[in-house]
């Protein structure tokens, strides 16, 4: 059955002159430890519906029941969400599907998060609060890291565990557009402009570049090292349309309770694996950086790891192995490039370690896929 589904997808793509291997694979692109919430899935689902796609039929084909998987506190495996997007891409044949879904702004879907944002006094406060509770949407599969600059600006850097290039491009574009739309919605400033926007992928065509720059209202840098948007201090000081301090207390209490429920489903090891994976994409992860991302001290991180019998080095090795296999599976990167990306001193060291992990050399592993 799996082979028949794979073959059907391949035929569909070949008939349209597309490269099927750029989108599909026999196995999930993301491991089973990662998940998103029903809110995150609902945004894709209802956005696709608005574009006239048979979202309900496709969702069920991916093994998900709309009645349960679209509930706000539902926990949906990331690989299933990726499969859903993959099927949407095949159905639509739309190279800019992530962009087009990202333009479908539906504040009601985001539930407590929208209430929390509207309850803040300023845009800076709204972004601080919503970033703190973003796991209510993205689970442990992605979101924004917030950095306040000395000049008063704020940089929001997006990350996600999805590595398959085509799926990642659509999801990342979708995420950046949603964030922009939400910021404009809660401030009542439809022409709010960022200082700069960076995207890691190259533009698919001139149309994508033109559309994104017309939406962001600023130049967009493609092929960047990370996906980010920077807002200046004046923009961050904009008031929110409906500020109410009592409402803020109530909204944050509700968000905190929901976040606690999400975190109960995600142990420390899972959080560390996600953060290590995210940080390793841009350099060797450091414990201090991970502690900062978790909002705890380095001493507390070490104590919690010791209590659960976790080894930082073992987590790094596990993350390296998973990323190495993903790179070999879904990219055309050379063995030398992968070795360098994962922080090995030389290619031979990486090859020896990969042989220990899998019993195969990197080249043999790729050939066997």
Q: pLDDT, tens digit, for every residue of 258-281?
A: 566 555 545 677 778 777 877 776
pLDDT band at 17 (very low <50, low <70, confident <90, very high): very low
Query: How large is the average pLDDT for residues 113-138?
Result: 84
Euclidean distance between CA atoms 126 and 244, whole angstroms = 12
239 phi, psi to nearest 5 deg: -75, 155
pTM score > 0.75 for this model?
A: no
pLDDT tens by residue, 314-344: 888 888 888 888 888 877 789 998 888 888 8
Distance of CA 143 to the CA centre of its chain: 5
Euclidean distance between CA atoms 135 and 99, whole angstroms = 22
Burial 168-198 (b: 16+ CB within 10 A, else e): bbbbbbbbbbbbbbbbbbbbeeeebebebbb
């Amino acid at each position: 059955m799996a082979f028949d589904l794979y073959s059907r997808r391949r035929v569909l793509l070949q008939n349209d002159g597309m490269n099927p291997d750029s989108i599909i694979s026999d196995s999930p692109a993301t491991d089973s430890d990662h998940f998103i919430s029903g809110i995150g899935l609902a945004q894709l689902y209802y956005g696709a519906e608005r574009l006239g796609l048979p979202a309900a039929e496709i969702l069920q084909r991916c093994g998900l029941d709309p009645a349960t998987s679209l509930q706000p506190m539902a926990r949906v495996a990331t690989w299933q969400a990726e499969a859903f997007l993959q099927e949407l891409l095949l159905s639509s044949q739309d190279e800019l599907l992530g962009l087009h879904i990202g333009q479908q702004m539906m504040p009601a879907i985001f539930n407590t998060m929208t209430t929390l944002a509207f309850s803040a006094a300023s845009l800076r406060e709204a972004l601080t609060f919503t970033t703190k509770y973003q796991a209510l949407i993205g689970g442990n599969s992605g979101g924004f890291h917030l950095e306040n600059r000395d000049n008063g600006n704020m940089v929001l850097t997006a990350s996600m565990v999805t590595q398959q290039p085509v799926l990642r491009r659509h999801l990342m574009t979708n995420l950046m557009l949603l964030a922009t739309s939400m910021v404009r919605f809660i401030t009542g400033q439809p022409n709010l402009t960022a200082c700069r926007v960076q995207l890691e992928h190259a533009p698919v065509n001139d149309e994508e570049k033109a559309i994104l720059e017309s939406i962001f209202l600023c130049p967009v840098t493609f092929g960047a090292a990370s996906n980010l948007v920077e807002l200046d201090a004046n923009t961050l000081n904009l008031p929110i349309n409906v500020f109410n301090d009592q409402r803020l207390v109530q909204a944050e209490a509700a968000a905190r309770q929901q976040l606690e429920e999400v975190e109960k489903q995600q142990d420390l090891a899972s959080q560390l694996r996600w953060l290590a994976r995210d940080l390793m994409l841009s350099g060797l992860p450091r414990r201090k950086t991970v502690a900062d991302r978790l909002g705890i001290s380095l001493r507390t991180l070490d104590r919690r790891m010791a209590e659960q019998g976790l080894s930082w080095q073992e987590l790094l090795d596990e993350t390296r192995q998973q990323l190495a296999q993903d790179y070999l599976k879904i990219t055309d990167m050379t063995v030398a490039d992968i070795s360098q990306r994962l922080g090995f001193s030389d290619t031979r060291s990486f090859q020896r370690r990969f042989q220990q992990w899998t019993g195969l050399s990197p080249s043999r592993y790729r050939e066997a896929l």
